[in-house]
Amino acid sequence: MVVKMAGMDDHERKIVIEFCHLLEKSKQLFNGLRDLPQYGHKQWQAYFGRTFDIYTKLWKFQQQHRQILDTKYGLKRWQIGEIASKIGQLYYHYYLRTSETNYLNEAYSFYAAIRGRAYYSRAAKEDRSDLMVKKLRYYARFIVVCLLLKKMKLVRDLVTELDKQIVDYTSTYEPDDQLEWSLVLEEIKSFIKADGIVSVLHADSNTIVLSHRLSPLTTPPVEKSTLMNLSLQEILIIGNCNDQVKFSELTMDMFRMLQTLEREPQDEFNHIYDASPAPGRVPFEKSYSLSSTKGGVGYPVVTGCQENGDRPIKRENPHKYLLYKPTFSQVMVFLSSGFKELPTNGALLLYISADGCFTTSKHPEDMGYDLGGVVTSSKKETDHSNKRAMHLKEMHCLHPGDLYPFTRKPFFVIVDSDNSFVFQHIPRYFGQPLVILMSPQDIPSNFQEHQPNGSLFTLFLHSPLTAFCFICNIINVPIHHWERCQSFIDRFVTEASRLFARSRIDPAFLQFFGDDFLRLLLLRYVFCDVVLHLHRSFKGRQLRPRCQPPLPDGDLLEHPSLQHLVLDLAAHLEVRSHFIDSNEMD
């Protein structure tokens, strides 16, 4: 942008020059973010700190000198929107790197302000297609943030607005990327529909949006013992189900699992989220380099860290990596990084939702590699001109044997796949705690058409009552009914926790059981197993989950008190006929 300096006094000239300097510097730093490594803790925090710092100065500067910048520089509203959008992106990416949901709320406040103040409202009048694309990208990013915060009414409004903006864009410019934007729109509509697989209704029949993040109300009780000494610190969430709905780089299973592994943001900070980058509100008021007793909630923290991996002193959530269709080398790099960052008594969780990679070997000898695994990426890297390539194994198949090195530290693995059971043979060479939860490998034919909406096993781990209603063909539940049914689930979880701690059980389970998230996953696994075992449609071992080491049947998975709670829930929902009778129980 060419700025005419003539007709300005010295003061005005200085302001315009300083603004141009800050704007250019902010763009350079922002563009450099994509070159930072996505893994590790130390490598990127200082750079993020500098980037936040320059955007803080830029935002304050344009607020303080708006009149001069309007009249002398020709500052447009869409340019202010562009700065606010970049700050929103910064916060969102900081959330992705730290897993702290409070940064998600900060991203939301900036994106909401752009819409509330209509910063992009005149973008179409500029007659520049690149501005319209920026506006469309802003909508797509805002929708992702709202989805993660479960602001579903706003998501629907934004989708309607995005639809209209895409029509305007395509009719005005007839662009090459018209098809891509139509696909984005279809993806998000399919995603919203799949997420609402069971609706909880108000008395007035409007849908209620429920959060499934961990809260004090959903944290399972536990009788603590000295064995329970591990805490979940690092997580890898991998998604590659080809026919599953997705939006941005999140499949439905990834979307559900990442929420399951986060705590509900604390209410006391709501006043921060509702604020926006208005004149009068200064973003990141507490300089990014400060930390508070709350770990600098709402503001990126660079100092106040422990030596191990430079992480904040108090973290609400375990740190996680989200990998959509990663190559084999990416899986190894991120697993290694999580492994390296583990503090003493820290546990690493690997969650994989992926299509099976099957073997043709008639006589498997090596249980680590001859049984196949799961495909993490569909990228083809083989040279088909080489005839020998036809006999090579799938490059991006993650085999059980690939995980052996990571069993040197406490390792918790969840595999949701139609080839999950091959992971049950991983040996404990190093004597460290190792637990593997495996999804059923098959699903009854009457549920198969719903597979693209997300896996049933992951749904059980995310929201047990939703999964229960789904397999009983219940699609609408009044809220008073839902809450009553939830009390059955709570009683089941409490009883299962008591039995878990008192059963003759592999010590590895108990070492993980002291962590709130891992205990929740283990108890929801038990609920899934008991429910499917009693359900008439799920006959056969392939239709039930497995775990390694095995959990005891008599003391836990087939315990009468747990079975009765499931059947009582079925009776309350008037779906008792879906489950076997007492005299049919083996």
Chain segment 42-90, per-residue pLDDT in tens? 678 888 999 999 999 999 999 999 999 999 899 999 999 999 999 999 9
Residue 377 — pLDDT band, cuts 50, 70, 90? confident
Q: Where are the alpha helices (DSSP H) in 264-413?
A: 270-274, 328-341
Least confidently predicted of 266-280, 409-423, 501-515: 266-280
User: What is the C-alpha separation between 239 and 220, in angstroms, rounded?
Assistant: 27
State what percent of residues in the chain have pLDDT above 90: 66
Number of Cα atoms under 13 Å in the Cβ half of residue 399: 16
Overall average pLDDT of the 310-316 stretch: 49
Q: What is the pTM of this model?
A: 0.88
The arrangement of strands across the sheet holding 231-240 comes to 319-324, 231-240, 346-354, 411-416, 434-438, 546-548
**From 171-185, 416-430, 488-502, the region with the lowest mean pLDDT:** 171-185
Please report the pLDDT score of residue 287 as a whole number: 33
pLDDT-derived band of residue 37, with 50, 70 and 90 as boundaries?
confident
Least confident of 17-31, 113-127, 480-494: 113-127
Q: Give the pLDDT of residue 272.
A: 32
The SS3 assignment for 436 reads strand
Q: Which helix (H) or strand (E) holds 231?
A: strand 231-240
Question: What contacts 379, CB < 8 A, 6 or more positions away?
Answer: 325, 327, 395, 396
Q: What length is written for the chain?
A: 586
Angle at the Cα of 391 from the Cα atoms of 387 and 392, rounded to 5 degrees:
105
- Residue 283 binned pLDDT confidence (cut-offs 50, 70, 90): very low
SS (H, E, C) 102-142: HHHHHHHHHHHHHHHCCCCCCHHHHCCHHHHHHHHHHHHHH
Domains and CATH numbers, the chain: 10-201 (1.25.40), 231-266+317-377+395-578 (3.40.50)
Question: Quick one: DSSP state of residue 215?
Answer: -
Please write the tens of the pLDDT for every residue from 462-471.
999 999 999 9
Q: Which has more pLDDT, 249 or 41?
A: 249
Would you put residue 182 in left (φ > 0), alpha (ψ -120 to 50) or beta?
Answer: alpha
Weakest-pLDDT range from 25-39, 112-126, 237-251, 518-532: 112-126
Closest CA to 503 of 563, 437, 554: 554
Lowest mean pLDDT among 204-213, 263-272, 488-497, 563-572: 263-272
pLDDT tens-place string over residues 428-461: 999 999 999 999 999 999 898 899 999 999 999 9
Q: How far apart are CA 380 and CA 70, in angstroms?
A: 52
Give the separation between CA 525 and CA 548, rounded to whole angstroms: 12
The lowest-confidence range among 287-296, 343-352, 426-435, 548-557 is 287-296
For residue 279, pLDDT beyond 50? no
Element (H, E) at 17: helix 10-32
Residue 423 tokens, joined = 């992971």
State the residue for tokens 């006391």.
268
SS3 state of residue 531: helix
Q: Which pLDDT value is given to residue 369? A: 86
Radius of gyration (Cα) for the chain, nearest Å?
26
∠56-57-63 over CA atoms, to 5°?
A: 95
Confidence bin at 584 (pLDDT 50/70/90): low
pLDDT at 389 over 60: no
Higher-pLDDT residue of 306 and 448 is: 448
HEC sequence for 234-272:
EEEEEEECCCCCEECCEEHHHHHHHHHCCECCCHHHHHH
Distance CA 380, CA 51 (A): 37
Least reliable range by pLDDT among 36-40, 345-349, 463-467, 496-500: 36-40
The closest alpha carbon to 457, from 564, 578, 575, 543, belongs to 543
pLDDT of residue 129: 86
CA distance 444 to 471: 10
The two three-digit tokens of residue 136, written as one number:
């469309």
Percent of the chain surpassing pLDDT 70:
86
Lowest mean pLDDT among 79-83, 222-226, 308-312, 370-374: 308-312
Q: Which of 155-169, 270-284, 483-497 has the lowest mean pLDDT?
A: 270-284
Segment 132-143 mean pLDDT: 94
Question: 98-107, 298-307, 377-386 — which is least confidently predicted?
Answer: 298-307
Mean pLDDT of all residues belonging to the chain: 86
Q: What integer pLDDT is reported at residue 304 of this predicted model?
A: 27
DSSP collapsed to 3 states, 535-559: ECCCCCHHHCCEEECCCCHHHHHCC
**DSSP annotation of 295:** S
Q: Which helix (H) or strand (E) holds 233?
A: strand 231-240
pLDDT in the model for residue 72: 87
577 versus 381: the higher-pLDDT residue is 577
